[in-house]
Structure 1
Amino acid sequence: MDECNHRRPHRSLPRRATPATAYHARPKATPTTDRTGEAHHRVRTDRVDHTGVVTLRVNGRLHHIGIGRTHARTHALILAHDLHIRVVHAATGELLRELVLDPTRDYQPTGKPPGPARKHPRNDNR
């Protein structure tokens, strides 16, 4: 092989060059820029599941984002800019949830207390 690639000229190559000479003369593919400073953007369509949660994969890890059972089975757009996430109602454009994703947690809670919302504020001055 060394004889064919490095010493013997090849008649199909310009100026009867050796295959090794032709290979080394061509430009090689290299990364064009350093992408470490670039932000990651993406838009994803999804549907809020029956428990009020959407899922999003970030850095190979699946995260569950709580939206609320009020919006169960709603079609939504997920707008991701690095770890800044917005969940928007697909039909109305209403912002359902905005958060900065905590990559150490699987579930991103809504921050609201569990259970139905109270209809009347509690009077603590009895």
Structure 2
Amino acid sequence: MKQKNSRPNHPTTCGKVERFQQTLKKWLRGQPTQPADIGQLQTLIDAFVDEYNHRRPHRSLPHQATPATAYQARPKASPTGQSSTESHDRLRRDRIDKAGKITLRYNGTLYSIGVGRTHTGTHVLVLVQDLNIRIINATTGELLRELVLDPSQRYQRLNKPPGPAPRKKNP
């Protein structure tokens, strides 16, 4: 981990942190009992963090979710018991294009994966483990699509029709 410092009062670099600190200070000043020592202050800060992450809705998150909800909705890395030579695992960040798809290179071949035009412009996380792919909304953590890549098809359709493809009738 490397610490990076920025100049104070620069909203483009410090805005989120300064806004969080402003919210914390305002909440602390609004408490009926003010802390007399560091231990009491830490107890109040712990209560604030719990409220901020688990109960207080955030306008910046879809459906005014809490940060804990958004965090828990995303899959977490876990040990698989496989070495890196046995499994191909990776995480990609992408954005769904105007046609409602993303592209993914696998074993040197570029595949298009349909997600749906309703998600056009959505920033996504693409989790790849061998041929298993999960596409997750990067903001909400919602699973948009889960599939097993079919290497014989360059385009991975969103909804495959059941059964064999319909035949064309000759007039």
Which category of TM-score, normalised to the shorter sequence, fits these structures?
0.5 to 0.7
Q: Residues 80, 36 of structure 1: CA spacing in aligned structure 2 closer, same or farther, 3 A cutoff?
A: closer
User: Which structure 1 segments of 5+ residues have no match?
Assistant: 1-34, 114-126
Matched with 1:61 is: 109
Shift of 1:51: 0.7
Aligned partner of 1:44 in structure 2 is 92
Aligned counterparts of 1:76 and 1:37: Cα–Cα separation in 2:
26
| Structure-to-structure mapping, 1:92-111, within 5 angstroms | 92-111=140-159
After superposition, residues 62-101 of structure 1 pair within 5 angstroms as 62-101=110-149
Cα distance in 2 for residues equivalent to 1:87 and 1:36: 22
Q: Name which one, 1 or 2, has greater alpha-carbon Rg.
A: 1
The alpha-carbon deviation at position 37 of structure 1 amounts to 6.0
Which structure 2 residues correspond to residues 11-30 of structure 1 after superposition, within 5 A? none
Deviation of 1:65 (Å) = 0.2
Relative to the length of structure 2, the TM-score reads 0.44
- Paired with 2:119 and 2:85, the residues of 1 have a C-alpha distance of 36
1:112 CA displacement: 6.0
TM-score by length of 1: 0.59
For 1:59 and 1:49, the matched residues in 2 are separated by: 22
Q: 1:102 and 1:70 mapped to 2: Cα distance?
A: 24
- What amino acid is aligned across from residue 99 of structure 1 in structure 2? L
Tell me the secondary structure at the aligned position of residue 55 of structure 1: strand
* Greater RCO (Cα-Cα under 8 Å, separation 6 or more): 1
Post-superposition Cα deviations, 1:19-73, rounded to whole Å, max 9, x if no partner, equal xxxxxxxxxxxxxxxx896100000000000110000000000000000000001
- The structure where strand makes up a greater share of residues is 1
The root-mean-square deviation of aligned C-alpha atoms, in Å, is 1.7
Task: Identify if the C-alpha distance between structure 1 residues 82 and 104 changes in structure 2 by more than 3 Å, giving closer, same or farther.
Answer: same
Measured in 2, the distance between the counterparts of 1:36 and 1:104 equals: 25
